[in-house]
Structure 1
Amino acid sequence: MTAAGTPVAVVTGASSGIGAATARQLAEAGYEVVLTARREDRIQELAKELTAGGLKAVARPLDVTDRAAVDAFAASLDRCDVLINNAGGAFGADTVATGDPADWRWMYEVNVIGALNTTQALLPALTASGDGTVLLVSSTAGHGTYENGGGYVAAKHAAHVLAETLRLEIVGTPVRVIEIAPGMVRTEEFATTRFRGDTEKAAKVYAGVAAPLTADDVAETITWAVTRPSHVNIDLLVVRPRAQASNTKVHREL
């Protein structure tokens, strides 16, 4: 049986971009959202915004790559109905021949091990809810390769495999496993972080693209998938802007 009361959704990487937008939309959909990220000031500000609007939200600083911290966080929750594994990112745009192994390691730790940590720690609570959902925000990079992105592509392929394998392993339990794979999304930080703070290079990613996806577009997709009837599982949903036919084919208006 589904637990009574307000369902709880944990959102990782909720300090900005897709994570923050998803937290807002899930709160509006009736969830109590637990905002997690390393930047406490950002999630505290968002929690205040949501609660001021009569919604339910709490901020909990968390580094998903710190397993002890993740376990302690999971133990502190009374319930968890939805886990949004959104924490992640790209760093560097080097070739395989010149890429820094430290960059690859960072991307794997955040995008894959972080999701593994939170999923393992919260799976008992998600199962106990009687109607749990694990959702991984991967990327179209997890479904097709491109040059100068090997480390990020490898990490997102691993995130896709994590979701696909988990779904096989827990079939028959009351927990769905959903993967949302966004394409070109223009957020405040993603490309800038990838290019180590070089805003000019970051801007070129979107140059000439009339309407890349926004964080709200992806958040709406996530919320739609999560709020389907319990028997409906959206295994994988790839969402791109109309101008992007593939990872390497983008229409630009010059």
Structure 2
Amino acid sequence: MQAPHPAAAQPPAMLLAAGRGERMRPLTDTCPKPLLPVQGRPLLEWHLRALQQAGVARGVINTAWLGEQISSHFGLQPLLDKHRQLSISYSHEGEDFGRALETAGGIARALPQLGDVFWLAAGDVFAPDFTFDPAAAQAFAASGHLAHLWLVPNPAHHPRGDFGLSADGLALNLPASDPAPRYTYSTIALLRAALFAPPWCGIPPGNPQGVAAPLAPLLRAAMDAGRVTAQLYTGRWTDVGTPERLAQLNAAPQAPR
């Protein structure tokens, strides 16, 4: 068995799991989207296992819609194999504010549990080949950048993509008229806490008022300042956004466990 990576080499991770999953209804009327089964296990568990295998020791999950099901299912310290344990804590936006705080608002709320640098992954994405590489985390921590994004080839449902990618690895906030290639943001990233402070973000530390705010405007502003890097990821990746995509995944060949 592969030896675990040193925990000190890896920052903590934030898993986004607060959304309502409107496009997945009626499946998400009684089950939060991160718990929907994909190839035999809850969707969010694929990320958790990959984080644990990469030596990440702490994860923070934000919740809102049916959040008690998520915390009841995963608990605080799931022992996922005999040697490595991933400690989980929660940011219960639903309990605290009665609603989800969107991506930037949710991260700002959880920031006191995360520290200066952290992984980010959305709980509604299936990426069984992705590795949360400790070398990438160390390189990012040593850089002056505010974010490092993994971009993917544009899926059929998002043909225009989100961001450009320069030859030297900068993420680009391209205007709509620019014909340069764009790629889709995978929702997997390394982030620095400074992105959630002025001048990029005006939410007070810890988001005590529960301000709801998206992440994209912060990323675009930081891109315009040359503070965001990116790389293209070509492994299997699915935004599990509709019942049809979920059914396709469950009918596909099984991913390695």
TM range (shorter): 0.3 to 0.5
TM-score, normalized by length of structure 1? Answer: 0.41
Which has more strand, going by share of residues?
2
User: Which has the higher relative contact order, 1 or 2, with Cα contacts under 8 A spaced 6 or more apart?
Assistant: 2
TM-score, normalized by length of structure 2? Answer: 0.40
